[in-house]
Amino acid sequence: MIEAMVIVVPFLTALALAFVARWRVGVWVNAGATTLVFLLACLLAGQREVTGHLLRLDALGVHLALLTGLVAMAAGWFGLAHVPRLIAARGIGRRRLRWGHALDQVQFGGTMLAVLSGPPLLVWLGLLAASLAAVAGTGLAHGRPAMLAARRALLLGSVSLVLALAGTVLLPLGSLVGLGAAFLLLGYGGLAGLAPLFVWTQAAARAPVLTSAQLGPLAAASLAALLRLRLALPGLDVPAWLFVSLGVATPLLAALGPRPADARGAAALACSAQCGIAAVAFGVGGGPAVTAGLLHLTLLVLAQAALLLTDDLAGRPAALTRAAGLAALAALPPFGLFGSACLVAVAAVGVAPWLAVPVGAGLLLNARMLLHCIPAPVGMAQAGPSTQAGSAIRSLLPLVPAWLMLALVLGLGLIPAPVLPWFAAMAEAR
Amino acid sequence: MSSDPVALDLAGGVLLALALAMLAVRRPAAQARAAALQSLVLAVAAVWQSVGRGQPVLLLAALAALAGMAVALAAPGGRNLDRGPVLLGAALAVLAVAALQRAEPAGLRDVLGLGLATVLAGVAATARRAAAAQALGLLTMQNGVALVALGMGRPWLAVAAATPLLPGIVLLRRVVPR
């Protein structure tokens, strides 16, 4: 019952938001609905595992529902301060903003449907709704660059979705399970930002920040669909090595390709690269590798959200928070991605020692690309003059969601031991 | 009337031939007509299967395919398109058909091969620069997956394959600039 509400509430909210003409009301409805869904997702953690005809409530699904809910709630609360600035800067029209809120909820609901569904077709429908909503959100911002980004995201996202659907169709045929898995890997891998379709995440990252902040959970849901496939078919070698190959190729291609124009582009590329590292772990397989991969995936979603939720904020605290977000996404110590990347590397080397070279090179090149963005993040607001003492606290409030995310990334890096059993339980899910 | 695998194979052959023709032509109107004919063939195949297998839900897939035909015909005109990767599309199609020659069950080999070859020809079409050609490439991919689902006798998958990308294809053709 609760799992159904977690999926249905965002879609109902989207319907309601389409009729709310006043953007101030829409912002509050958005924040309230995401908070409600996150609280409902927290209740899921106490329930026992259930596998029904339509929905599946297991450790992996609950974890991803919590992660998706947390990021959406943080984005919703960030929107309370961000949207008035966006309106003032004429970054988006008021009527388009109404659709933007509705699309955010569709993206949220679609991701929840994908992570909590059992049948592969329902998982695909959830990812379809979420990715098409993200694409439509990309086209909402003013200007030709936004439209061109929307076109590119639509094309690449649609190709990924059709390939994934072809895989979903072929998978039940026993003799073609390898081919079906390969199609699924290319399709869902593309949605998660893996090579060769990783340009899609860069294009979709041009969306307004409330939309792009939820791209991380969408990528995690896509990779989780592949992980479920990998765990269900442990003896299938072709998808495992394809998984590893795409995972290894992604950070290398992302770092060696054209340099991104701004910090947003760099963050999207870095997210793809870190998804590649998680994919290596899932491809290698086995309890320790999958546990490390899931920890890495969780931390990268949080780090990306922390970085994006500082968008257009001025002042030294915002600039420092942004720099910390970039450092976290670059997998630098003491942030958690450093530790999880080391765990992935150790697990991968245990299976194939040569994997140390491409994985290490990918991580180093990715960190180098992001470090270029730290001194002066182009495309996001620069560090402005210090705020007046009277409004200091008010100016810090919009940073609270980003700090919450960064605190989690830092805390899980410094003391990962208490949460490792939680991730190990997910690695055993089928 | 019963379900006829030969009829589906024939439909698959027509779909693939039209997909390759779409890669070859450069006039937007000719490409749109080929895509519309492809969707029409898929709709007829879905109606045929619906009657033959007694699965009325396949009529929804036929309706979706007809909607796809309307989308293809509502084409903006304009300049000639860039040259399509015909050789790449043909090579991918041959690979798909050849790779499935050992697939089981044997009765599904041809329709699976032709459907997947159509999907891959559609992937090749999305490499063209013009948004209209890319959108029709997506439509081709979608038609190929729907044909595979029809051949496997999975009605809901056929409906799912034929329907959901249509709004995106309309958006790509009409709204998003070149």
Determine whether the interchain pair A154/B176 forms a contact, defined as Cβ–Cβ distance below 8 Å: yes
Overall average pLDDT of the B79-102 stretch: 79
On whether any CB of chain B is under 8 Å from the CB of A124, the answer is yes
Determine whether the interchain pair B176/A124 forms a contact, defined as Cβ–Cβ distance below 8 Å: no
Chain mean pLDDT for chain A: 83
What pLDDT, on a 0 to 100 scale, did the predictor assign at position B2? 45
What pLDDT, on a 0 to 100 scale, did the predictor assign at position B170? 66
Q: Is the pLDDT of residue A234 over 70?
A: no
A259-268, B58-67, B75-84: which has the highest mean pLDDT?
Answer: B58-67
In this predicted model, which residue has the larger pLDDT, B132 or A282? A282
Q: From A161, which residue of chain B is nearest by alpha-carbon distance?
A: B165
From the list A121, A147, A176, which residue is nearest B103 (CB)? Answer: A176
What pLDDT, on a 0 to 100 scale, did the predictor assign at position A166? 84
Determine whether the interchain pair A173/B108 forms a contact, defined as Cβ–Cβ distance below 8 Å: yes
* Residue B161 CB contacts under 8 Å (≥ 6 apart), including other chains: A165, A169, B61, B142, B145, B146, B148, B149
The model's pTM is: 0.85
Determine whether the interchain pair A169/B123 forms a contact, defined as Cβ–Cβ distance below 8 Å: no
CA quadruple B5, B6, B11, B15: dihedral positive or negative?
Answer: positive
Which residues of chain A lie closer than 8 angstroms to B100, CB-CB? 176, 179
Which residues of chain B lie closer than 8 angstroms to A173, CB-CB? 103-104, 108, 112, 152
On whether any CB of chain A is under 8 Å from the CB of B103, the answer is yes
* Residue B12 CB contacts under 8 Å (≥ 6 apart), including other chains: B110, B111, B113, B114, B115, B118, B147, B151
Of A25-39, A406-420, B31-45, give the lowest mean pLDDT range: A406-420
Of A110-119, A150-159, A241-250, A320-329, give the lowest mean pLDDT range: A150-159
Q: Is the pLDDT of residue A377 over 60?
A: no
Q: From A160, which residue of chain B is nearest by alpha-carbon distance?
A: B123
Percentage of residues in chain A having pLDDT higher than 70: 92
Determine whether the interchain pair A154/B171 forms a contact, defined as Cβ–Cβ distance below 8 Å: yes
> Closest approach of chain A CAs to the CA of B176, in angstroms?
6
On whether any CB of chain B is under 8 Å from the CB of A139, the answer is yes
Overall average pLDDT of the A101-128 stretch: 90
Two tokens, residue A162: 């059709």
> Closest approach of chain A CAs to the CA of B169, in angstroms?
9
pLDDT band at A36 (very low <50, low <70, confident <90, very high): very high
What pLDDT, on a 0 to 100 scale, did the predictor assign at position A332? 85
Q: Give chain A as a 3 state SS string.
A: CHHHHHHHHHHHHHHHHCCCCCHHHHHHHHHHHHHHHHHHHHHHCCCCCEECCCEEECHHHHHHHHHHHHHHHHHHHHHHHHHHHHHHCCCCCHHHHHHHHHHHHHHHHHHHHHHHECCHHHHHHHHHHHHHHHHHHHCCCCCHHHHHHHHHHHHHHHHHHHHHHHHHHHCCCHHHHHHHHHHHHHHHHHHHCCCCCCHHHHHHCCCCHHHHCCHHHHHHHHHHHHHHHHHHCCCCHHHHHHHHHHHHHHHHHHHHCCCCCCHHHHHHHHHHHHHHHHHHHHHHCCHHHHHHHHHHHHHHHHHHHHHHCCCCCCCHHHHHHHHHHHHHHCCCCCCHHHHHHHHHHHHHHHHCHHHHHHHHHHHHHHHHHHHCCCCCCCCCCCCCCCCCHHHHHHHHHHHHHHHHHHHHHHHHHHCCHHHHHHHHHHHCCC
pLDDT band at B167 (very low <50, low <70, confident <90, very high): low
What pLDDT, on a 0 to 100 scale, did the predictor assign at position A378? 43
Q: Is the pLDDT of residue A90 over 90?
A: no
> Closest approach of chain A CAs to the CA of B2, in angstroms?
23
Of A72-76, B112-116, B163-167, give the lowest mean pLDDT range: B163-167
Which of A331, A335, A332 is closest to A406 using CA atoms? A335
On whether any CB of chain A is under 8 Å from the CB of B108, the answer is yes
From the list A132, A144, A165, which residue is nearest B168 (CB)? Answer: A132
On whether any CB of chain B is under 8 Å from the CB of A155, the answer is yes
Q: From B152, which residue of chain A is nearest by alpha-carbon distance?
A: A169
What pLDDT, on a 0 to 100 scale, did the predictor assign at position A142? 64
Overall average pLDDT of the A205-220 stretch: 84
ipTM of the complex: 0.75
Neighbours of B95 (CB within 10 A): 14
Q: Is the pLDDT of residue A86 over 90?
A: no
Overall average pLDDT of the A148-164 stretch: 83
From the list B119, B156, B176, which residue is nearest A162 (CB)? Answer: B119
Query: In a 10 Å sphere around its CB, with 0-12 CB exposed, 13-18 middle and 19+ buried, how is residue A390 labelled?
Result: exposed
On whether any CB of chain B is under 8 Å from the CB of A144, the answer is yes
Which residues of chain A lie closer than 8 angstroms to B122, CB-CB? 162
Determine whether the interchain pair A169/B171 forms a contact, defined as Cβ–Cβ distance below 8 Å: no
Which residues of chain A lie closer than 8 angstroms to B116, CB-CB? 166
Q: Is the pLDDT of residue B172 over 70?
A: no
Answer for the pair A360, A338: CB distance below 8 angstroms, yes or no. no
Q: Is the pLDDT of residue A120 over 70?
A: yes
What pLDDT, on a 0 to 100 scale, did the predictor assign at position A236? 65
On whether any CB of chain B is under 8 Å from the CB of A148, the answer is yes
B102, B108, B118, B134: which to substitute to probe chain A, counting the most A Cβ within 10 Å?
A: B134
Of A105-109, A347-351, A420-424, give the lowest mean pLDDT range: A420-424
Two tokens, residue A279: 């994919």
pLDDT band at B1 (very low <50, low <70, confident <90, very high): very low
A384-393, B20-29, B100-109: which has the highest mean pLDDT?
Answer: B20-29
> Closest approach of chain B CAs to the CA of A308, in angstroms?
26
What pLDDT, on a 0 to 100 scale, did the predictor assign at position A381? 47
Which residues of chain A lie closer than 8 angstroms to B166, CB-CB? none
Determine whether the interchain pair B100/A162 forms a contact, defined as Cβ–Cβ distance below 8 Å: no
Overall average pLDDT of the B123-132 stretch: 82
> Closest approach of chain A CAs to the CA of B132, in angstroms?
11
Neighbours of A249 (CB within 10 A): 18
Q: From B141, which residue of chain A is nearest by alpha-carbon distance?
A: A162
What pLDDT, on a 0 to 100 scale, did the predictor assign at position A70? 94
